[in-house]
Amino acid sequence: MAMRDLLKKYFGYDSFRPLQEEIVNHCVSGQDALVLMPTGGGKSLCYQLPALKFDGITIVISPLIALMKDQVDALTANGIPAAYLNSTLPYPEVARIEAQAKQGKLKLLYLAPERLANPSTRQFLTTLKISLFAVDEAHCISEWGHDFRPDYRNLDLLRTQFPGIPMLALTATANPRVRDDIVSHLRLGRGRVFQSSFNRANLAYRVVPKKKAFEGLLAEIRRRPDEAVIIYCFSRNATEKVADDLKANGINAAAYHAGLSPKDRARVQEKFIRDEVPVIAATIAFGMGIDKPDVRLVVHMDLPKSVEGYYQETGRAGRDGLPSECLFFYSAGDRIKHEYFIRGMDDLDERQRVRVQLQEMMRYAELKTCRRAFLLRYFGETGVPETCGSCDVCVPRAVEAKAEPVQDFDQDLFEELRLLRRNLAATRHVPPYMIVGDKTLQEMARQFPQSREHLIGITGIGREKLAQYGGAFVDAIRAYAVPKGIPERLAATTVRARPVKAISSSTRETVRMFEAKRSLESIARERKLSVVTVLNHLEEALDNGRSLDASHLSAPDDDRLERMREAFREAGTYMLAPAKAKLGDAYSYDELRLGRFLLKARPQ
């Protein structure tokens, strides 16, 4: 089965995120690689999809027990046989999983790194037909990273004992020193490095003066009823105070910090993941073991200690790709809080380093130029646009203003579907986001699918999700739409402005080949991509304001192109399905896709 079909069947997605397709193809060809992608970039899919294609099993090394369980639950929910082995499992369970693996019944097996130190685990691995080792959170191998785990050094044993098996290492760390460490420890010397832009295009960055900060915070939270929010504070006391003040104002909030008992911490985390307490005031310890994709707002009440830390913490917003905000209440005076700790440091070099990091963070806060551009350049990206159109410097506005955002979906239906999702999740004992994501619910609330045939066309609905929840969602949508006389709609009826983002190196490569007058097919062949992806790259370049000369392509005749232009215009969107519905079978999707590109390339 083609990769794209596997993508839809198991994960419910219609297209790849940037670099995913290249990485998946590279991986299937049996070669090593290092993948550097920001949080939310879609790293998991880079080994989960190849795992489905391989005959043998894919072994995934993952450091956090909670995340391991999450991933396995999510895979199982998509109908993919997977399991994990770690210290929390009783022996009979371990034996059962090992037997399944030996019988070839599992596609993916997650392992905690400390298990590799055990010769019996390595002996067990020799009895399997292993197709791939995937090393998640690969920065844990480096002492230069923020999360060094000595157990990761055991991976060296895998390389020695299983030299012929390809390895895919993945991380969201952009630090070059850490990257070199990963390559050398895992001996990835001959593998490729795939690095995507660290731009989080769906995140809006905002810094506001720390005056009446609590009122500002409250207003922001009230604008987002029931949405997940993380508020980072400098001290334990501050987290308690913010949470208490929010509760006094009727907000369902809780505090999280290292002073709580492990049991209490686990409970707060669990409630947050299950959408039972949506607002958490926390120290930076919160968030490490959490993959919650629908956090809509991350707030910094105090000065973060470094740009790296700030990027990582804000990165916990909007992993699902939907618009989310990062709000920072800044006061230069907060520097004093850090000074107290800095003066306590014995190592003078270390003191100096920490001061420089703090200085950089303050520079960010006081910028008069685009904040996104600063962040991307800080992490060494080049070719970064001067303005982003979605930070407070590029688009100034007051905190208490933002005019509600324009929504192109039915908010009431969305709320109903969210409630249904919560109920489905509760009976199955999984977090709601594991049923389906917000993006899927929003698309339902836009298209009103009233049959299973239509529902399968929605993003995030694969074969298994359709079988499990299709009936429930269709019933709920019908119950809402039929009395109101709302018909099914094919797709979005508004053209959404795309956020400006840095073009990836892969897109640049496609553009370069296209400008050398190569045909789409020959670019696709050489780059091992589909023609659709090549076109996506080219459209991405056009959408980012680049002009392309497409005169060397063999185009549909002018008449047909004109009809397509009309159809897109009438549909009010460049999405293919509505135009196709207007044009009928005389126009294939392939032709429409090419037509769309040509129309964008020479607009009138």
For the chain, count helices (H), then strands (E). Answer: 26, 13
- Binds ligand ADP by CB under 6 A, chosen from 18, 41, 304, 432: 41
Are the C-beta atoms of 178 and 144 separated by less than 8 Å?
yes
296 binds ligand ADP (CB under 6 A): no
Closer CB to ligand ADP, 43 or 527, in the complex? 43
| Residue numbers at the binding site for Zn ion (CB under 5 A) | 370, 372, 388, 391, 394
497-499-504 Cα angle (round to 5): 130
* Closest by Cα among 485, 482, 455 to 469: 455
Out of 25, 39, 331, 493, name the contact with ligand ADP by CB under 6 A: 39
Binding to ligand ADP (CB under 6 A) within 115-144 occurs at none
13 in contact with ligand ADP (CB under 6 A): yes
Instruction: Tell me the closest approach of the beta carbon of residue 486 to ligand ADP, in angstroms.
Output: 26
Which is closer to ligand ADP, CB of 298 or CB of 394? 298
Q: Which stretch binds ligand ADP (CB under 6 A): 16-24, 273-281, 355-363, 478-486?
A: 16-24
Nearer to ligand ADP, 437 or 449 (CB): 437
CA distances from 595 to 302, 542, 553, 559, 579 (A): 51, 14, 11, 11, 11
Among 27, 28, 36, 45, binds ligand ADP (CB under 6 A): 45
Q: How many Cβ atoms sit within 10 Å of the Cβ of residue 409?
A: 16
Q: Could you say which of 8, 43, 185, 580 contacts ligand ADP (CB under 6 A)?
A: 43
Which of 18, 40, 63, 191 is close enough to bind ligand ADP by CB under 6 A?
A: 40
Measured from the CB of residue 431, what is the shortest distance to ligand ADP in angstroms? 12
- Which partner in ligand ADP, Zn ion, none is near 370 (CB below 5 to 8 A by kind)? Zn ion
Structure tokens at 110: 């997650």
Residues of this chain, 274-293, that bind ligand ADP according to CB under 6 A: 291, 293
564 Cβ partners below 8 Å, 6+ apart? 556, 579, 583, 587, 591, 592, 595, 596, 599
- φ, ψ for residue 84 (rounded to 5)? -135, 155
Phi, psi of 181 (to 5 degrees): -60, -45
Nearest distance in Å: CB 388, Zn ion: 3
Residue of the chain from 23, 26, 36, 42 that contacts ligand ADP (CB under 6 A): 42
Contacting range for ligand ADP; rule: CB under 6 A; set: 13-21, 60-68, 240-248, 265-273: 13-21
Binding residue for ligand ADP (CB under 6 A) from 320, 392, 410, 464?
320
Q: Are 141 and 90 in contact (CB under 8 A)?
A: no
The bridge status of strand 82-85 relative to strand 108-111 is parallel
Q: Does 432 bind ligand ADP (CB under 6 A)?
A: no
d(CA 388, CA 381): 15
Is 311 a binder of ligand ADP (CB under 6 A)?
no
Q: Taking the complex as a whole, how short is the minimal distance between the CB of residue 532 and ligand ADP, in angstroms? A: 13
437 is a site residue for ligand ADP (CB under 6 A): yes
| Closest CA relative to residue 199, chosen from 576, 502, 408, 521 | 502
Q: How far apart are the first and last CA of the chain?
A: 40
Residue whose pair of structure tokens reads 């055991």 in the numeric block: 154
- Does the footprint of ligand ADP cover residue 44 (CB under 6 A)? yes
Q: Distance (Å, rounded) from C-alpha 291 to C-alpha 452?
A: 29
Residue (229 or 391) nearer to Zn ion, CB: 391
- Helices 348-365 and 307-314 meet at what angle, rounded to 10? 50
* Residue 137, contacted partner among ligand ADP, Zn ion, none, CB below 5-8 A by kind: none
User: In whole angstroms, what is the distance from residue 246 CA to residue 81 CA?
Assistant: 43
To the nearest whole angstrom, how small is the minimum distance from the Cβ of residue 414 to ligand ADP?
A: 18
Between 299 and 394, CB nearer to Zn ion: 394
Q: Judging by DSSP bridges, how do beta strands 57-61 and 279-282 pair with one another? A: unpaired
- Within a 10 A sphere around the Cβ of 421, how many other Cβ atoms? 24
Phi/psi of residue 256, each to 5°? Answer: -145, 125
Adjacent-strand bridge partners of 192: 33
Task: Count the residues of the shown chain that bind ligand ADP, applying the rule CB under 6 A.
Answer: 17
* Nearest alpha carbon to residue 367 among 386, 339, 348, 342: 386
CB of 507 to Zn ion, least distance (A): 21
C-beta of 172 vs 391, nearer to Zn ion = 391
Shortest Cβ distance from residue 291 to ligand ADP (Å)? 6
Q: Which does 293 bind (CB under 5 to 8 A by kind): ligand ADP, Zn ion, none?
A: ligand ADP
Pick the binder of ligand ADP from 319, 454, 527, 580 (CB under 6 A).
Answer: 319
Cα 223 to Cα 2, 148, 228: the distances in Å are 43, 39, 12
- For residues 548 and 40, what is the distance between their CA atoms, to the nearest angstrom? 30
| Whole-number Å distance between alpha carbons of 227 and 294 | 8
* Beta carbon nearer to Zn ion, 88 or 369: 369
Stretch that binds ligand ADP, among 15-23, 176-184, 268-276, 371-379 (CB under 6 A): 15-23
372 binds, among Zn ion, ligand ADP, none (CB under 5 to 8 A by kind): Zn ion
Q: Which is nearer to ligand ADP, 39 or 283 (CB)?
A: 39
**Residue 295 DSSP one-character state:** E
Q: How far apart are alpha carbons 273 and 587 in whole angstroms?
A: 45
**Least distance (Å) between residue 451 CB and ligand ADP:** 23
280 strand-pairing partners = 230, 254
- Minimum CB distance to ligand ADP smaller for 20 or for 131: 20
Least distance from ligand ADP to the Cβ atom of residue 513, Å = 23
Q: Of 33-41, 274-282, 302-310, 527-535, which part binds ligand ADP (CB under 6 A)?
A: 33-41
Q: Which stretch binds ligand ADP (CB under 6 A): 12-20, 96-104, 114-122, 396-404?
A: 12-20
Name which of residues 145 to 184 contact ligand ADP (CB under 6 A). Answer: none
Measured from the Cβ of residue 214, the count of other Cβ atoms closer than 10 Å reads 14
Q: Distance between CA atoms of 505 and 106, rounded to whole angstroms?
A: 35
Interacting residue ranges for ligand ADP, rule: CB under 6 A: 13, 16-17, 20, 37, 39-45, 291, 293, 319-320, 437
